[in-house]
Amino acid sequence: MRIVVLTGAGISAESGLTTFRDAGGLWEGHDPMQVATPEAYADDPGLVQRFYDARRAALARVEPNAAHHALARLEDALGDDLLLVTQNVDDLHERAGSRRVHHIHGRLQAAWCTGCDERHEWHGTLADEPPCPGCGASDLRPDIVWFGEVPYGMDVVEDALERCDLFVSIGTSGVVYPAAAFVHWAAGETLELNLEPSAGASDFDASRQGPATRLVPAWVDELLG
């Protein structure tokens, strides 16, 4: 059975990372959504770097939860028949033991040098304009896909969706494209596990509502018997 799983901020919520649209607050007086754009970065790079520096630092204070662990178990059982696609830029899937995580929106723990176009693992800060380990230029930005930029590895995702028997969407509001369209591209059955139905919920065969830490382990247990 070939499965594509898409995760969003909701799977990390119970680990203590706030989701985007549930946050309900401002960050240094800014809407977090408005910081995640190339325009914001061009206008005020320091502000955008501080936002991502804070989110990168927050990873040290959180742990993967039962939902991340359940998906790692699923990968152990299915191997290459599972494609785990995440919109999340955190590292909680990896820390739970998932080895092949497809980060379509990039990762907090990577920096991209716009000078030499190389990417580097990054665990420190960027607001202080550190030099690129490759070329020495102070041109490092978060390796995050912002609004208006092209998500990573979409060819692999499209291919897997066209061949899948089951597509499962977990903890995403379904308002950001192209991920919101995956349910339409999926050849197989579709299932949503979410606290509340996503924007595309009517396109899912079944929507199970509740917290990810309860729904995801239950679904994986059911599937693996």
Choice between 160 and 169, CB closer to ligand OAD: 169
Q: Which residue has the tokens 């995403």?
A: 172
**134 sits near Zn ion (criterion: CB under 5 A):** yes
- Distance in angstroms between the alpha carbons of the first and the last residue of the chain: 14
Tokens at 55, concatenated: 């989110």
CB of 85 or CB of 110, closer to Zn ion: 110
Q: Which residue has the tokens 């199970």?
A: 208
Six-digit token string for 91: 């590292």
- Cβ atoms of 72 and 66 closer than 8 Å: no
Stretch of residues binding Zn ion (CB under 5 A), selected from 45-53, 111-119, 147-155, 208-216: 111-119
Closest distance to ligand OAD from the beta carbon of 79 (Å): 26
Distance of CA 38 to the CA centre of its chain: 19
User: Rounded to whole angstroms, what are the CA distances from 71 to 42, 46, 113, 174, 224?
Assistant: 37, 36, 32, 20, 11
Give the nearer residue to Zn ion in terms of CB position, either 134 or 197: 134
Among Zn ion, ligand OAD, none, the one that 135 touches (CB under a kind-dependent 5 to 8 A) is Zn ion
Give the number of other Cβ atoms within 10 Å of residue 152's Cβ. Answer: 16
How far is residue 168 CA from its own chain's centroid? 14
Annotated catalytic residue 123: no
Catalytic annotation, pick one of 68, 69, 93, 105: 105
Q: Is the Cβ of residue 46 or residue 130 nearer to Zn ion in the bound state?
A: 130
- How far apart CA 133 and CA 148 sit, in angstroms, is 28
Residue 132 near which of ligand OAD, Zn ion, none (CB within 5-8 Å, type-dependent): Zn ion
Residues forming contacts to ligand OAD in the complex (CB under 6 A) are: 8-10, 13-14, 19-22, 33, 36, 87, 105, 145-146, 171-173, 176, 194-196, 198, 211-212
Q: Shortest distance, CB of residue 51 to ligand OAD, whole angstroms?
A: 11
Which listed range, 1-9, 10-18, 133-141, 180-188, lies at the site for Zn ion (CB under 5 A)?
133-141
Q: Which of 33, 54, 135, 224 binds Zn ion (CB under 5 A)?
A: 135
Whole-number Å distance between alpha carbons of 138 and 122: 14
**Should residue 110 be labelled a site residue for Zn ion when binding is judged by CB under 5 A?**
no
Name which of 188 and 211 has its Cβ closer to ligand OAD: 211
Which of 169, 165, 222, 219 is CA-nearest to residue 199?
Answer: 169
> Which residues are known to be catalytic?
105
Q: Which residues bind Zn ion (CB under 5 A)?
A: 113, 115-116, 132, 134-135
